[in-house]
Amino acid sequence: MAAPVPEPLLQIEGLHKSFDGHAVLSGASLAVPRGCLVSVLGRSGAGKSVFLKCLADVLRPDAGTIRFDGRLLGAGDVEAWADFRRRCSFLFQSNALFDSLTALENVALPLEQTTGLSGKEIDGRSLEALRQLELDAHRDRYPGQLSGGMQKRLALARAIVTRPELVLFDEPTAGLDPLRRNAVFSMIAKYQRQFGFTAVVVTHDVPEALVASDRVALLDQGRMCFEGVPADFSASNDGVVHDFRDSIAALGSTLAAIRRGEASSSADP
C-alpha cells in the first residue's frame, strides 16, 4: 500500500500566463505536499521558470489560484503575500547575489531588512548559515571572487537563513557538468532533509531529479501532464513522459540507425 501523501503546503490550480498573446502556461496545476521535495520537469522553453516565478510573485499570472498553507494568495492581498514571502525563499537560476556585498552581507541582508533581530543575532545566524554550507572561510569575499558552485551554495545560504518553510529553486543545475549537477542535487536533498523545508525544484535533469525527489511533475504545453512519485514516472506509458524520460535511449537508437546506415552504404560495391 502506498504511503499517504501529506497535506499540500502549496496548491496551484489552473495557472495561465501569456506574453504578447503567446500562451506559456495554460492551466498548470500542482500540489506540493508539506516537507516534500517536488521536481518540476520539462523541456527548455516549456514555461518551468515562468511557472515558478508566478509562484514567487515575480510574475503575475493572468488567471488561476495559488494557496499557501490553505490561504488564498489573491492578486491584491498584500498581507497574504507578505506572509508568504516571510515563509518562502526563492533561489534564482542566476543566483541573484548582490555583487557589491560580501558573502556575509549577502546572507545577512534578508535578516537585516525583514526581522527585528539585533546586529549580534544577525551576524550569529548568518555565520551559522555560512558554516553549514562550508562557506565560513569565505565570509569576506565578494560573489565575483567565488567559484560557480560556491555562489550556488551562497545563494542557498541566503535562502535558508530566514528558516523558510518553502524554498523554490529555479534551474539550480543549469549549465553545470554532470558531477556538479549531482553535487547540487545532493546538496538540495541534504539540506531539505536537514532543515525540513518543502522544496520545489524546476529542472530538466531527469536522472538526478528522479533520484533526489519525493515527487515529480512534468510540464508540457503549459500544463502538468504528469504528477506523482518518481517510480510512477519511470513506469509511465504516457507518450510525453516516455519521450522526455527516454530521450537518451531514443538518441542511442537514432545514432545506432545512422551508424548502421553508414556501415551498409560503405559495404555497397
Partner 1 sequence: MLRIVGRNTLSIVQALGDFALFLGRSFRAAAGSRKIVRRIMRAGFEQGVRCLPVILIVGMFTGLVLGLQGYYVLNKFGSEGLLGTLVSLSLVREMGPVLAALMLVGQAGSALAAELGIQRNSEQIAALETMGVSSYAYLVAPRLIASLIVYPLQTALFVTVGLVGGALSGSVLLGLESGVYWSAVERAVESQDVRECFTKAAVFGLLTIGLCSYHGFNAHRNRSSTGARAVSASTTRAVVQSCITVLAADYVITSFLV
Number of H helices, E strands in the chain: 10, 10
Query: What single-letter amino acid sits at 102?
Result: T
Shortest gap between Cβ of 171 and partner 1 (angstroms)?
A: 12
* CB atoms inside a 10 Å sphere around CB 12: 24
Is 19 a residue that touches partner 1 (CB under 8 A)?
Answer: no
Among the listed residues 16, 33, 34, the one whose alpha carbon sits nearest the alpha carbon of residue 25: 16
Shortest gap between Cβ of 158 and partner 1 (angstroms)?
A: 8
Site string for partner 1, 33-72 (x = CB under 8 A): -----------------------xxx--------------
Output 99 or 177, the one with its CB closest to partner 1. Answer: 99
Output 57 or 238, the one with its CB closest to partner 1. Answer: 57
Q: Give the phi and the psi of residue 163 in degrees, each rounded to 5.
A: 55, 60
Output 99 or 268, the one with its CB closest to partner 1. Answer: 99
**Looking at 90, 191, 197, 233, which residue binds partner 1 (CB under 8 A)?**
90
Q: Which helix (H) or strand (E) holds 113?
A: helix 103-114
- Taking CB under 8 A as the binding criterion, the range among 32-40, 88-96, 191-199, 248-256 that sits at the site for partner 1 is 88-96
Shortest gap between Cβ of 110 and partner 1 (angstroms)?
A: 4
Query: What single-letter amino acid sits at 121?
Result: E
Output 155 or 218, the one with its CB closest to partner 1. Answer: 155
Cβ pair 181, 208 in contact under 8 A: yes
Output 88 or 212, the one with its CB closest to partner 1. Answer: 88
Is 30 a residue that touches partner 1 (CB under 8 A)?
Answer: no
Is 253 a residue that touches partner 1 (CB under 8 A)?
Answer: no
Contact set for partner 1, span 107-146 (CB under 8 A):
109-110, 112-114
Is 150 a residue that touches partner 1 (CB under 8 A)?
Answer: no
Is 73 a residue that touches partner 1 (CB under 8 A)?
Answer: no
Among the listed residues 237, 193, 235, 194, the one whose alpha carbon sits nearest the alpha carbon of residue 214: 193
Q: For residue 32, what is the DSSP state?
A: E
242's CB contacts (< 8 A; 6+ apart) are: 236
Is 80 a residue that touches partner 1 (CB under 8 A)?
Answer: no
- Print the SS3 string covering 176-209: CCHHHHHHHHHHHHHHHHHHCCEEEEEECCHHHH
**Looking at 63, 72, 82, 250, which residue binds partner 1 (CB under 8 A)?**
82
| Buried/exposed code over 255-267 (b: 16+ C-beta within 10 A; e: otherwise) | eeeeeeeeeeeee
Q: For residue 229, what is the DSSP state?
A: -
**Looking at 162, 192, 198, 213, which residue binds partner 1 (CB under 8 A)?**
162
**Looking at 51, 92, 169, 244, which residue binds partner 1 (CB under 8 A)?**
92
3-state secondary structure of 69: coil
- Contacts to partner 1 by CB under 8 A: 56-58, 82, 85-86, 88-90, 92, 94, 96-99, 109-110, 112-114, 162
